[in-house]
Amino acid sequence: MKKIVLATTALFAIMGAHAADQATVDTYNKTCVICHGTGAAGAPKFAVADEWAVRLEQGMPALVKAVDGGMGAMPPKGMCTTCTPEEFEKLITYMSTGK
């Protein structure tokens, strides 16, 4: 019985992780792809490591702060005015790695 409970718990955890990943992809497709899909206005393009390298060296807190306050042509919070700092972290990771 314990094995069934553990297996079920693990399955729900995996499903929850998949849902979070899909939510990130959906948010990217609704808000970030506008600029990061093409590199518009100098935005680093999706999963182009060279374009993200210098930015990632700053560290995630600095990147989230830049998104929150706006940077270059990107307005504060980009196009996702309801995103939380945690969601921005997931979006940055997704955009910079494609994963």
Q: Which domains does the chain have, with CATH numbers?
A: 23-97 (1.10.760.10)
Residue 94, pLDDT score? 97
Residue 55 and residue 67: Cα distance in Å, rounded?
12
Residue 12, pLDDT score? 35
Residue 67, pLDDT score? 96
Residue 44 and residue 52: Cα distance in Å, rounded?
6
Model confidence over 51-88: pLDDT tens digits?
A: 999 999 999 999 999 999 999 999 999 999 999 999 99
Residue 15 and residue 85: Cα distance in Å, rounded?
23
* Mean pLDDT across the chain: 85
Q: Take residue 23 and report the two structure tokens written for it.
A: 């939510």
Residue 80 and residue 20: Cα distance in Å, rounded?
16
Model confidence over 17-30: pLDDT tens digits?
A: 444 499 999 999 99
